A = this chain, B = another copy of it.
Amino acid sequence: MEPLYRDEVSAAFEPVAGQLAQVEEMLMEAGRAPSPFLGEVAGHLTSAGGKRIRPAVTLLASRLGNSGDPKVIMAAAAIEITHMATLYHDDVIDEGDLRRGVPSANAKWGNTVAILAGDFLFARSSGLAAEVGGQVPRILADAIASVVEGQLLQLEADFDVSRDLDHYLRTISGKTAALFEAAARIGALLGGLDATAESAVASFGRSFGMAFQVADDLLDLTASEEELGKPPGSDLREGVYNLPVIWAIESRPGLTGLLGSTDVDVDEVRKIILETGAFDRARELASSHAQDALGHLMTVEQGEPREALENLTRLVVERIPDPRTAGGAAKRA
């Protein structure tokens, strides 16, 4: 959720803006290291910004309850640092050159340094989670294990044109939804919600995460480099065949002839995805997960925090541009 909808997202964060500023300070702090070089590398992504959507979910979820534990700032920071650690390693794996509009750590300092900086951030996030205590370290550790599972599933399917819906859903459930679920659950716990509400909020996080990733995969096909902070069509070139591709192949098996290598005509594939209706179907799936997310929130107390989470959920789907009518790469092509 990079530059697109930045203002609308900020508006949704309004109820926790002050706390998010504290999280930001903690992120800066966590990047500090005895060696200035490590500090520079580990702080690189923090300085590049990012929407901080995961910590915002944690903070908003904690506001749903009454017992505001001040440690929620630390917990929210731990979630975002975990996310950043995975980004460092992701970029090594994908050989990504750009991240959040700036050169990725691997492109700037090499793979080795990026691996170690990711490890350092993992250590920092577990350190923070340990300070929060209670169930938080375990929830976070389990989420990281799921993220890795999801990333490995994705790798298994690299350049595999026979990847199916089930495989895709298992992948994003691990690599993305698990951390959003953890973010929401940890917020609920620290907000003092009862077990039923905690479970509903965790389910909200999971559905939100699913919607978020399906939307993200659509954005890779339609948004501009400026909007994405990296070149569009990256997934296609890296052999990651996401939902719209999977569904487009179902309707038009000949599409596989255009895939299977790094040398891919992104515009042509995008055209077929649109023609077959796979783009719209995928957007509907994102919508449906967003609806599930909103449904889970129905059981918790109404008020500003819940409204903010609802707005955020709607934005996830609204930010998917219509490639037929609006900006983005399709129009430019």
Residue interface mask A210-252, B partner, CB < 8 A = 1 = 0000000000000000000000000000000000000000000
**From residue A169, how far is it (CB to closest CB) to chain B in Å?**
14
Tell whether A92 is near chain B: CB-to-CB under 8 Å.
Answer: yes
Instruction: List, sorted by A's number, 17 A–B pairs whose CB atoms are closer than 8 Å.
Output: A35-B152, A93-B116, A113-B152, A116-B155, A119-B144, A119-B148, A120-B149, A122-B122, A123-B141, A126-B126, A126-B144, A127-B138, A127-B141, A129-B130, A130-B141, A131-B138, A133-B133
| Chain B proximity of A45: nearest CB distance (Å) | 16
Chain A positions within 8 Å of B, measured between CB atoms, are 33-35, 37-38, 86, 89, 92-93, 111-113, 115-120, 122-124, 126-127, 129-131, 133, 137-138, 140-142, 144-145, 147-149, 151-153, 155-156
Chain copies in complex: 2
**A126 touching B137, Cβ below 8 Å:** yes
Given contacts A116-B152, A120-B145, list 20 more A-B pairs with CB under 8 A: A35-B149, A89-B115, A93-B116, A112-B155, A113-B155, A116-B148, A116-B155, A119-B122, A119-B144, A119-B148, A120-B148, A122-B123, A122-B126, A123-B142, A126-B141, A127-B142, A130-B137, A130-B138, A130-B141, A133-B133
